[in-house]
Amino acid sequence: MSKKDIHDVRKPKQKSRRHFLGVLAGLAGSTATLGVLSQKDGPVELPLHEADFYKPHNLAG
Amino acid sequence: MNDVVCELCPRYCTIPAGGAGDCRVRVNLGGKLRATTYGRPSAVHIDPMEKKPLYHFHPGTSILSIATAGCNLHCRNCQNWQLSQRGGEEMEHIYRGMPDQIVDTTLNQGCQAIAYTYSDPIIFYEYVYDTAEAAQAVGLYNVFVTAGYINKAPLRKLCRVLNATNTDLKAFDDKFYRDNCSATLKPVLDALVIFREEGVWLEITNLVIPTLNDDMAMIRRMAHWIRDELGAGTPLHLSRYHPMYRMRNLPPTPTETLERARQEAMDVGLHYVYIGNLSGHKGSSTFCPHDGTLLIRRTGFWITEYHLTEDGRCPVCHEKIEGVWT
């Protein structure tokens, strides 16, 4: 096989890898953006009566 | 220029405008000191009184227990670090509970008392004071579970609205406090004396940690000090350590160590020395210091036998047992 042939054979593979990496990066970026957008700004505030007073817990004291 | 100094605890934090003290929750807003967690507890539970632990204060009753984020100590073995080593805004949830709402909830749930606990309630002092004052007005009891690292003046004021405390005496060693809690021993000893002087029912917890504070000579010195400064009738809880937070390298306290420490403290003359965090152990029950009669048997946080008379005496020899029983 000549050098040209080898080049020709590899080319589509490189293109495919780049495409795959591009899609992966895009997915990661979208996930991160969604994560940031959906993050709550500080703690969730609840009325006192919504506390589960008898829920088992492992706090000392 | 707009710095404020928080005089609540011995740290005397100088807080710049917009900043927070060492506890994370006491802040400088526009040149004024504010407690950001006022009316914003992150933990609200109903516990047995024995869990605080208080063994000689209204035994067998339930107590509404509240805490906010933050703490003025940073113990490497903190069991409640997810609550105590965070600021209010770092919590997952916060309840809206102003003092009157806490009192109403306590009454509605059929509890007789409110505990300020879990983190160190010193750092939500104003919230404790206002809630305790409102609770006192309707006949509820107030329990303060603390490490006692507080200045004298605010503590004396707070004692007016408190009925009982369980205060940690983490070790009878200043170096231990400095190395493991970023605090010092002397203010804690002062706080214990103030509780006694002000008539607040006092029980002490000492968490026994292998190799760090399990030296029997230190246990004896601590017991001597408690006997001489606070009285032989002051209950002492020697609790078992479990690996936690930033101190996971040490093993749980062996039962024999706790038993030996209990014996040392009783040999010094303390009347009520308990073993804690070891369910079902004989050392978690109360015996008459005069004739050894079993008075209260406990399994975990639960009372399984109760033989005290209505006025808090041994049924056999009629020895008065120190405590607040009714």
What are the domain boundaries of chain B?
A: 4-306
Non-local (6+) Cβ contacts of B235 within 8 A are B55, B56, B203, B204, B272, B273, B274, B322, B323
pLDDT on residue A1:
47
**CB B95 to CB A59 under 8 A?**
no
Query: What is the tens place of the pLDDT at every residue in B4-23?
Result: 999 999 999 999 999 999 99
B181 is in an annotated binding site: no
**CB B95 to CB A61 under 8 A?**
no
Nearest CA in chain A to B117: A61
Flag whether the ipTM exceeds 0.95: no
Q: Which residues of A touch B84 (CB under 8 A)?
A: none
B163 close to B143: Cβ distance less than 8 angstroms = yes
pLDDT on residue B106:
98
Q: Which residues of B touch A51 (CB under 8 A)?
A: 44-45, 95
- Structure letter (DSSP) for residue B75: -
- Would you state the CATH architecture of domain B4-306? Alpha-Beta Barrel (3.20)
Distances (CA, A) of B122 to B144, B166, B170, B174: 9, 13, 16, 20
B77 close to B247: Cβ distance less than 8 angstroms = yes
B317 is in an annotated binding site: no
Query: What is the tens place of the pLDDT at every residue in B185-208?
Result: 999 999 999 999 999 999 999 999
Query: What is the tens place of the pLDDT at every residue in B213-228?
Result: 999 999 999 999 999 9
Q: Which residues of B touch A57 (CB under 8 A)?
A: 43, 45
Q: Which residue has the tokens 């780049």?
A: A18
List of chain A residues with pLDDT < 50: 1
Query: Chain-wide mean pLDDT for chain B?
Result: 97
